[in-house]
Amino acid sequence: MTEFFSSSSFLALLVTIGSFVAVNSLKKKVKFALFNPILISSAVSILFLVLTKTDYQEYRVKTEFLSRLLTPATVCLAIPLYEQFEVLKKKSGAIFAGILSGVLSSFICMAVLALLFKLDHSMYVTILPKSVTSAIGMELSALNGGNPSITTVLIILSGITGNITAVPLLKLLRVTDPVAKGVATGTSSHAIGTAKAMEMGETEGAVSSLSIVIAGIMTVIEMLFVSRIF
């Protein structure tokens, strides 16, 4: 089994994509937030690697094709932006202020954690871009001396957490405005959270998509200054 997996890209892709599709189909029937396709399919892939004693680097090479789809997938989020352009234009000030608040809050929280746990520079810049999309976060981490692999894990965890908790948390806080929902979800949990925002409505999905872009740009600019403080 291990020899076959090591020599076959097809099986690696089958495990990765197959587990995601299966869990996604199950979630649509069960409608339970914890049945998150990314969370469970990741666990299935990890379990498979452990059971077959397959090296992660081999698995990564076999599934590199999927990683390359991150950038075009992010670009496709421009479609809901175009469809909801008038709404975004009317509330541009509120959207920008909300995204800025979210980005600053994230940086402050990470800075406090870095001080409390006495993290060195490499770990600090590794955790800073946790709330932006992987395509941006990985590059930011690498360019500033961080560990892109750990950054990716944190980004995925942030996205999954946002995807699972967005709806109940917004209800708990009594946030009903579609624009506010979109800003909160997109700024804190990037593309994975945006998938949930799109389930909430077209406006929420469009604003969340816009939030990913603006939050990413703000994070790039802030890291130029903040990463040099620690």
pLDDT band, very low/low/confident/very high, at 26 (cuts 50, 70, 90)? confident
pTM of the model: 0.77
What integer pLDDT is reported at residue 183 of this predicted model?
93
pLDDT band, very low/low/confident/very high, at 228 (cuts 50, 70, 90)? low
Of 54-58, 94-98, 116-120, 148-152, which range is least confident?
54-58
Helices marked H in 31-91: 37-51, 56-62, 64-67, 70-75, 78-83, 85-90
Same domain, 45 and 83: no
2 has pLDDT over 60? no
Whether 43 and 52 have beta carbons less than 8 Å apart is answered as: no
Range of the domain at 86: 75-226
Q: Which residues contact 212 (CB under 8 A, 6 or more apart)?
A: 74, 77, 132, 133, 186, 190, 191, 194
Same domain, 111 and 32: no
Given 68, 86, 118, the domain boundary residue is 68
Amino acid at 83: E
Whether 11 and 4 have beta carbons less than 8 Å apart is answered as: yes
Q: If you average pLDDT over residues 78-91, what whole number do you get?
A: 81
Same domain, 86 and 199: yes
Q: How many domains would you assign to the chain?
A: 2
Residues 153-179: tens digit of each pLDDT? 899 889 888 888 998 999 999 999 999
Same domain, 61 and 150: no
pLDDT band, very low/low/confident/very high, at 229 (cuts 50, 70, 90)? low
What integer pLDDT is reported at residue 7 of this predicted model?
53
Whether 80 and 198 have beta carbons less than 8 Å apart is answered as: yes
Residues 43-78: tens digit of each pLDDT? 888 888 888 887 878 887 878 778 777 777 767 777
Same domain, 132 and 30: no
Same domain, 54 and 92: no
